Amino acid sequence: MRYRTILGLSLLSLTTFAQAADSLCLQKEQDIQHEIDLARQHDNQRRVTGLERALTEARAGCTDGKLKASHQEKIKDLQQKVEERQKELNQERADGDDKEKIAKRERKLAEAKRELKEVQAAPY
């Protein structure tokens, strides 16, 4: 009896995992549909039109592999942006420029890091 319970729980968790892993495109479609609903609530027809086009494209050409590759590319680009901002800040500090310029570079670096964290936290 105990063996059957363990087997049943294992199969249930495996099924749930398989559904979760296969749903990146479905999740993206749901997110776009949610944005369409919000745009309709706010009578923003231009946004609705653009989002409907995006939804059509997502349904036609979405694969989990493409989404993952695109997501990794975004992360890579933002990591490069963070590195660039860090270099700029280091250069300002090395040059001994005024505190305003250094503060501006620090804000830009913080913003780039925030963007990177947001993209890393997103599923696609």
Measured torsion, CA atoms of residues 69, 74, 77, 82, in degrees rounded to the nearest 10: -140
Sign for the CA dihedral angle at 14, 15, 16, 22 comes to positive
Side-chain half-sphere of 110: how many Cα atoms within 13 Å?
Answer: 6
Give tens-digit pLDDT for 74-112.
Answer: 999 999 999 999 999 999 999 887 899 999 999 999 999
**Amino acid making up residue 27:** Q
Q: Which pTM does this prediction carry?
A: 0.69
pLDDT computed for residue 87 by the predictor: 96
pLDDT computed for residue 76 by the predictor: 98
Decide: 68 and 124 in contact? Cβ < 8 Å: yes
Tell which wins on pLDDT, 100 or 11. 100
- Which residue's structure tokens are 């503060």? 103
